Structure 1
Amino acid sequence: MQNFYKKTGLNLYVWLAFFILPFYFISQYSKLWTMVTGIIIILVFFVCYLLAFITKGWQVYMWIGLLIAISITMTIAYDYAYFSLFLAFFIGNIKNKAGFFTLYSVNLGASFLTINYGFINQSSMLVSQFPFVFISLMASILLPISTYNKNKTEQLEGQLENANKRLDDLVKMEERQRIARDLHDTLGQKLSLIGLKTDLAKRLLRNNPDQAEVELNDLRQTASTALKEVREMVTTMRGTQLVDELFRAEQILKAASIEFELEGNPKLQDTSQLNENVIGMCLKEAVTNVVKHSQATVCTIIIKETQSDNILTVRDNGVGLERTRNKDRRGTGILGMKERLEFVNGCLDLRPGADKTGTQLVIQVPKLTRKPMKEDTT
Structure 2
Amino acid sequence: MLCKPLHINNQQGLVSCIKIYPKEQAKQYLIIDVVSIIILIFIVLSSNSNLPVIAKIIVLITFLTAFYVALWYRDWRLHLATLTGLFSVAIIGIYEGSIMLFFGFTFADLIGRAQVKWHIASAMLAIALMFIVVLWVETGELFKIDDPIILPIMLIQLVFPVLIYYIEKAKNLKVELATVNTQLVKQHERQRIARDLHDTIGHTLTMIKLKTELTTKLVDKDPPRVKGELQDILATTRTALKQVRELVSDMNFVSLESELLHCEKLLLSADIAINISNNCPKILLSSVEETMLALCVREATTNILKHSQAKSCIVEIDYFDPIYTLNIIDDGIGLENQGLGNGLSSIQERMTILQGTATIDNFTNGGTIVSLKLPFQHYRKEPLK
What TM-score do the two structures reach when normalised by structure 2?
0.53
SS at match of 1:10: helix
CA displacement at 1:49 relative to structure 2: 1.9
Taking the aligned partners of 2:126 and 2:87, their CA distance within structure 1 comes to 9
Deviates more, 1:185-194 or 1:211-220: 211-220
Write out per-residue CA displacement over residues 262-287 of structure 1, whole angstroms, 9 at most, x where no aligned residue: xxxxxxxxxxxxxxxxxxxxxxx9xx
SS at match of 2:194: helix
Structure 2: tracts of 5 or more residues without a match: 1-19, 241-255, 257-275, 317-325, 343-385
The residue type paired with residue 177 of structure 2 is L
CA displacement at 1:175 relative to structure 2: 2.4
- Regions of 4+ moved over 6 Å: 216-223, 330-335
**Larger gyration radius, structure 1 or structure 2:** 1
CA displacement at 1:173 relative to structure 2: 0.7
What TM-score do the two structures reach when normalised by structure 1?
0.53
SS at match of 1:2: coil
Q: How does 1:301-320 map to 2 (within 5 A)?
A: none
For 2:182, the equivalent position in structure 1 comes to 165
* 1:75 matched to 2:75: no
For 1:212, the equivalent position in structure 2 comes to 223
Structure 1: tracts of 5 or more residues without a match: 205-209, 231-284, 286-320, 353-358, 371-378
Q: How does 1:109-188 map to 2 (within 5 A)?
A: 109-118=128-137, 120-121=139-140, 127=146, 130-183=147-200, 185-188=202-205
Q: Is the 8 A contact 2:44 2:92 kept in 1?
A: no
Q: How many residues align?
A: 259
Q: Is the 8 A contact 1:49 1:67 kept in 2?
A: yes
Taking the aligned partners of 1:197 and 1:70, their CA distance within structure 2 comes to 92
Taking the aligned partners of 1:77 and 1:30, their CA distance within structure 2 comes to 6
Tell me which protein shows more helix as a share of its residues.
1
The residue type paired with residue 102 of structure 1 is S
Taking the aligned partners of 1:149 and 1:119, their CA distance within structure 2 comes to 35
For 1:90, the equivalent position in structure 2 comes to 110
Q: Select the residue among 266, 279, 298 that pairs with 1:325.
A: 279
Taking the aligned partners of 2:89 and 2:179, their CA distance within structure 1 comes to 41
The residue type paired with residue 88 of structure 1 is A
Deviates more, 1:40-49 or 1:94-103: 94-103
Write out per-residue CA displacement over residues 311-354 of structure 1, whole angstroms, 9 at most, x where no aligned residue: xxxxxxxxxx97x53746699899765532332324563389xx
Taking the aligned partners of 2:329 and 2:229, their CA distance within structure 1 comes to 49
Q: Is the 8 A contact 2:112 2:163 kept in 1?
A: yes
Q: Is the 8 A contact 2:21 2:71 kept in 1?
A: no
CA displacement at 1:170 relative to structure 2: 0.7
For 1:48, the equivalent position in structure 2 comes to 66
Taking the aligned partners of 1:26 and 1:147, their CA distance within structure 2 comes to 31
The residue type paired with residue 340 of structure 1 is E
CA RMSD of aligned residues (A): 4.6
For 1:340, the equivalent position in structure 2 comes to 299
Q: Is the 8 A contact 2:108 2:157 kept in 1?
A: yes
Q: Select the residue among 314, 333, 346 that pairs with 1:350.
A: 314
SS at match of 2:329: strand
Write out per-residue CA displacement over residues 86-135 of structure 1, whole angstroms, 9 at most, x where no aligned residue: 211211222333433332x2233223422442464169xx83xx244334
The residue type paired with residue 211 of structure 1 is D
Write out per-residue CA displacement over residues 4-47 of structure 1, whole angstroms, 9 at most, x where no aligned residue: 8718932336523333325414533255x534323321222212
Taking the aligned partners of 1:360 and 1:185, their CA distance within structure 2 comes to 35
Taking the aligned partners of 1:8 and 1:99, their CA distance within structure 2 comes to 27
Taking the aligned partners of 1:8 and 1:326, their CA distance within structure 2 comes to 19
CA displacement at 1:152 relative to structure 2: 1.5
Q: Is the 8 A contact 2:94 2:138 kept in 1?
A: no
The residue type paired with residue 182 of structure 2 is K
For 1:282, the equivalent position in structure 2 comes to none
For 2:81, the equivalent position in structure 1 comes to 63
Q: Is the 8 A contact 1:92 1:147 kept in 2?
A: yes
Sequence identity (%): 12
Q: Is the 8 A contact 1:88 1:143 kept in 2?
A: yes
Name the CA shift for 1:43/1:69 in 2 (closer, same or farther; >3 Å). same
Taking the aligned partners of 2:30 and 2:94, their CA distance within structure 1 comes to 30
The residue type paired with residue 37 of structure 1 is A
